[in-house]
């Protein structure tokens, strides 16, 4: 019984935390439209609150509160998956621009280091 409670506690803690961290990174990087990670940033604490309420017996599975808590995460994961499938990352995002500038600088250094034949 103790092992089962430890697993449930770990899952309840990690699931919303991972969703929130991914939403935060996507929001800060600007690789996707801001609305998509905002849904994750809103939904993760709601899922965490629902899960804590479920553990303490305040709410139950299949209730309206579960639907309210899970809806933002559902739409976030759906929109993120569809966006990545059909659009991909924004190439003009600041993170992508810095990465391409870094790669071009490395290519220039590598090209200059090669002997001329």
Q: What is the CA radius of gyration of the chain?
A: 21
Please state the domain extents for the chain: 2-112
Instruction: Return the number of other C-beta atoms located less than 10 Å from residue 65's C-beta.
Output: 16
Give pLDDT tens digits along the chain (117 positions): 556 656 666 666 788 888 889 899 889 888 889 999 999 999 999 988 888 888 888 888 888 988 898 899 999 999 999 998 998 877 777 665 565 665 666 566 655 555 555
> What is the spatial distance between Cα 47 and Cα 43, in angstroms, rounded to a whole number?
6
pTM of the predicted structure, to 2 decimals: 0.68
Report residue 30 CA to chain centroid gap: 12
pLDDT at 82: 93
């Amino acid at each position: 019984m103790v092992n089962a409670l430890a697993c449930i506690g770990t899952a309840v803690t990690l699931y919303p935390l991972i969703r929130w961290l991914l939403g935060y990174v996507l929001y800060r990087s600007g690789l996707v439209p801001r609305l998509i990670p905002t849904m994750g940033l809103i939904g993760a604490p709601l899922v965490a609150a629902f899960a804590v309420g479920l553990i303490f017996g305040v709410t139950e599975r299949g209730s309206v509160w579960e639907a309210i808590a899970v809806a933002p995460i559902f739409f976030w994961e759906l929109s993120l998956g569809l966006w990545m499938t059909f659009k991909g990352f924004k190439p003009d995002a600041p993170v992508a621009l810095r990465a391409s500038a870094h790669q071009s600088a490395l290519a220039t250094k590598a090209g200059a280091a090669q002997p001329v034949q």
